[in-house]
Amino acid sequence: MAKVTARDLIDRFSLELLSGEEGIYRPITTSDISRPGLEMAGFFTYYPRRRLQLLGRSELTFLEQLDTEVKLERLDKLCTANTPGVIISRELEASRELLDVSEKSSVPVMRANDTTTRISSQMTEFLEAQLAETTAVHGVLVDIYGIGVLLTGASGVGKSETALDLVRRGHRLVADDSVEISQQHGDTLMGRPPELIKHLLEIRGLGIIDVMTLFGAGAVRPFKRITLNVHLELWDEDKAYDRLGIDEDTMSVIETDIPKYTIPVRPGRNLAVIVEVAAMNFRLKRMGINAAQEFSDKLMGVIEDYDRDEF
């Protein structure tokens, strides 16, 4: 099924349907919106027929200056079997020819009361969000000091308990157990909870708790950009864990890589504090402060000085 149709635009932006009602469930497959100025002038060689067509005062005024025969010819080319819809801005009047051609080809013509630029901006943003590639990841998403931290790990490793402790420390829960992730604006990953489990947290031994009811509206967020992955795993005595933090690992989600920290879990470790510090350290790195690299550089300087003294 189509993710977005003209019906969704009518409901979302309170558009007035003028004609072409039979086509309101045509799929909209691209977030790009076209202003067919060249097409009104007769140049259809590269006409993007699968885009929404946005007509403002300039296009409609030019169209009215054409002879009826030429006007019908160009409107026939504008309203194709693949055109998802035509939008008229500023509550401008649609010509009788446009309404007749759109009705015949089942292309919905919709009218908005906003300016052309604002309609284009708002609809592009809406379509990019709705048409973005999505996936679901088993994990917990928490907003820590403005950093969207995705906690992953095997079931029962302590992700939800860590999230609860983080919420008690003043951070905000986005999603528990399942995180719906969409890729927007190229390489931006946005995470949100499934509607059924929004604001809920599962704690073994306690069951389901409502974080917003317990801690207030400031303890939750409806969505958050994901910029860091903290992977929790049971401590393995035979595994060599990174002790300096120079080597950088990544997690791939859809087509985007985000930094990944692997935190070993064993009794006595305060995971909430460790994850909190991981987020703060990541934030410092983005500001150009890398403690591990500075330590490594100082160590190499000491070694080089020692070698020169020896020889």
- 101 has binding-site annotation: no
- 154 has binding-site annotation: yes
Residues constituting the chain: 311
User: Is 231 labeled as catalytic in the residue annotation?
Assistant: no
Strands 224-225 and 140-144: unpaired
User: Is 225 labeled as catalytic in the residue annotation?
Assistant: no
User: What's the CA gap between 243 and 246, in Å, rounded?
Assistant: 9
Structure tokens given for 111: 């009218």
- 4 has binding-site annotation: no
Among the listed residues 26, 51, 111, 159, the single catalytic one is: 159
For tokens 């992700």, name the residue: 159
CA distances from 178 to 107, 127, 181 (A): 39, 24, 10
Residue 3 DSSP code: S
Provide the CB-side half-sphere exposure for 162 (13 A, CA).
Answer: 31
- 149 has binding-site annotation: no
- 202 has binding-site annotation: yes
Which of 226, 215, 233, 147 has its CA nearest to residue 182?
Answer: 226
User: Is 308 labeled as catalytic in the residue annotation?
Assistant: no
User: Is 177 labeled as catalytic in the residue annotation?
Assistant: yes
Per the CB < 8 A criterion, the answer to whether 114 and 88 are in contact is no
Bridge partner residues of 5 (DSSP): 27
Angle between helices 116-131 and 6-13 (to 10 degrees): 120
Q: Which helix (H) or strand (E) holds 250?
A: strand 249-253
Per the CB < 8 A criterion, the answer to whether 6 and 25 are in contact is yes
Among the listed residues 67, 96, 238, 243, the single catalytic one is: 243
Among the listed residues 104, 118, 138, 204, the single catalytic one is: 138
Burial 216-249 (b: 16+ CB within 10 A, else e): eeebbbebbebbbbbbbeeeeeeeeeeeebeeee
Among the listed residues 50, 165, 177, 285, the single catalytic one is: 177
- 157 has binding-site annotation: yes
Cite the active site residues. Answer: 138, 159, 177, 243
Question: What residues are designated binding site for ATP?
Answer: 153-160
Question: What residues are designated binding site for Mg(2+)?
Answer: 160, 202
Question: What residues are designated binding site?
Answer: 153-160, 202
